[in-house]
Structure 1
Amino acid sequence: MVDDEALMRRVAEGDRAAFARLMDRHLSRALALAERVAGNRGDAEELVQEAMLRVWTEATRFRPELGSFRAWFNRILVNLCLDRRRRPTGLSLEAAGDPADPAPDALAQTLEARANAALRAAVAELPERQRVALALCYWEGQSNQQAAEALATSVSAVETLLVRARRLLKAKLLPPDGSEDRNP
């Protein structure tokens, strides 16, 4: 298997097949990350396309000695996501979500959906750097070091972002007495 850095050298020389192979390798992970940061699938798809275009047009700027391709690509994608969030455009259909199912088939599904909705809403209210740190470390499974590279900050800053995010989520999702048995 050809590694990402070797493929990037070929991409920098204009090799479209190498570019396609590299993007295929990272597409699903990039979409998941962008969707978590951007908040909806439609924006995520646009952001990933824009990030891929930047990889193609900026391929000669990639320096493997400064970090992995994945970290470089994540940095491009996260920057695009944050830029998009800073300049909101109207509410998209994807952001509005699907209409609620009027007849859920079980109480458990309803409770789970409410809990998931409460979690999504609480995460959406987090400051964007905390939300991005959560997405990278918890949903993408990246190390704190990798998240620090993607956020262009230190590992200790990422750890602080995660602690603060967990504290805010706990305050929003648990009752004041701190018990975890809560019906949403």
Structure 2
Amino acid sequence: MRQNVRHVKALIAGAIADLKLIEREIDAHGIEAKRWEEKAVFALKKGEEDLARRALTRKGEHANKADLYREQIETQQEIIDSLKSSLKTLETKLDTTRYQTAKLAAAESLGVLQSTVGATSPADAVIDTTAFDAYDRLVDRVRDLEVHAEALAELTQGDDLEQKFHELENSEKIEADLAALKTKVHPENQDP
């Protein structure tokens, strides 16, 4: 059972490491989005509106990826919290099992002593196996969460029709961003 506790601790460490990697991905995509916005501003200043539009498209792609990673953080944090809770339960069960094993050993020693002096045999002690059941439930829960995360990933990908509408919405956003950048870069061209 101690090995099971070590295994769950390793799962928690791995899940926390994955969380840190997700946070780094969010930061990296945020930096890239900012870089592409700066390129769009530069392109506008040079009169390259089409190039600015393409740069804003790239900015949007990185912003969308960062948003997807933000959604994964919530799921990952739930997994970590669940694993930590299960670890506490497992450690409690391990402590209970250790206590009951020590109690059984003491009862057996007492029984040997009593039988040596002619007394009755010790009462039977039962080792608690619910810790193994808790571990099995934990493994099942982690598998369920992994399957759930895969299903969410499939849902976020969507079908082709959904993708086309998403592209249309993005092109509107890009045009709005482009117009905002134009007024920011060339304020003298604004209508009074």
Structure 1 length as normaliser, TM-score?
0.27
Structure 2 length as normaliser, TM-score?
0.26
Structure whose residues are more often helix by fraction? 2
Larger relative contact order (CA 8 Å, sep ≥ 6)? 2
